[in-house]
Amino acid sequence: MRPPTHILVVNGIKVRRPVFVLGAPHSGTDLLGRALKRSPGFHVTMGRASVAHVVYAFARRPSIMRRKGGGAVRVLRDALAEAWQIVPGACAECPAACREAGAVTGGGPCVAPGGVVRFGDAGPDLLYSAPVLLQAFPDARFVQLIRDGRDVAADMLADRAAMGLFRTSMLSDETEFPNPFLGVNSVEHRDRWAAMRSAGKCALRWRSAVRLSAALRQEMPADQLLTLRYEEMAAAPDRTIATVSEFLESRVSKVALYSASAPKVGAWRSRLRPEEAELVEKIAKDELTRLGYL
């Protein structure tokens, strides 16, 4: 018999059909998260420490998510419940990107409890916890973004935080293999990965992420997962937001997608050195080809 669905209540509000934005780093999840965050009735967090700690623990040791007893589900649900609390000073615990996305200038909070009907999270690297999120919230809605791996690599190389994860945080004695986060399939490849150029490590992360995204499309019900292309979102924001609004059955703001700081499509041509572009294309050739980027 299927166990009863857990009903999470935050600030007196039942969490129903929460929204989670998934994708490889720099695939546009932050832009869509910003759009959701500025939409009426939504309370969306982005990168709160309570959630990030759990997500990266799962990424280092994927076996945690497969253990019996439901511990991973409870831990992630509790972390999100903490992140979603709407109390004075809560926004001070959010990263600068989340506060800026919510136009928070003072102590917050960024939303009023009385106006919230949907919760969500668009924090980095939620993709690696997607199966646990679905167990924790069986009625959740997921929106995942796919972007050209060469553009992703170019942006990752310029992102100190993203590159920092390669140096110490994710590769430790506790790291398990195969490891989807690093894109490394075997512990025997660890030394080869460590010696690899940074562009190659970015390509491995992107390759692994789009493989996970493809698996989710096969495993998740069609009415719970929407896949978007970043290139289409950049070319036609209105159409993208209409699609997302229909999928979520809620009105989503489109203003955030017109940001002048939004990453440009094809910028890798001027930002990656020829040898970097060649390495990315070599490592991720099959996925770039399958997705129509090559």
Q: Are 107 and 17 in contact (CB under 8 A)?
A: no
Compute and round to an integer the Cα radius of gyration of the chain. 19
Residue 272 sits in a domain whose CATH number is 3.40.50
Q: Which helix (H) or strand (E) holds 157?
A: helix 149-157
Q: Is the peptide bond before 178 cis (omega within 30 degrees of 0)?
A: yes
Task: Please report whether residue 2 resides in a domain.
Answer: no
Angle among Cα 228, 233, 239 to the nearest 5 degrees reads 95
Task: Please report whether residue 3 resides in a domain.
Answer: no
User: From CA 177, how far away is CA 120, in angstroms rounded?
Assistant: 30
What pLDDT is attached to residue 3? 46
What pLDDT is attached to residue 5? 59
Count of domains forming the chain: 1
Task: Please report whether residue 4 resides in a domain.
Answer: no
Q: Are 87 and 109 in contact (CB under 8 A)?
A: yes
What pLDDT is attached to residue 168? 61
Task: Please report whether residue 44 resides in a domain.
Answer: yes
Beta strand 9-10 with 13-14: parallel, antiparallel or unpaired? antiparallel
pLDDT (tens, 9 = 90+) of the chain, 294 residues, equals 344 556 798 888 899 999 999 999 999 999 999 999 999 999 999 989 999 999 999 998 999 998 877 899 999 999 999 999 988 777 777 877 887 777 766 666 778 778 899 999 999 899 999 999 999 999 999 999 999 999 999 999 999 988 988 876 677 777 888 899 999 988 888 888 888 999 999 999 999 999 999 999 999 998 999 999 999 999 999 999 999 999 999 999 888 888 767 889 999 999 999 999 999 999 999 999 999 999
* φ/ψ of residue 4, rounded to 5: -60, 145
User: From CA 85, how far away is CA 87, in angstroms rounded?
Assistant: 6
Q: Are 194 and 217 in contact (CB under 8 A)?
A: no
What's the domain range around 106? 9-290
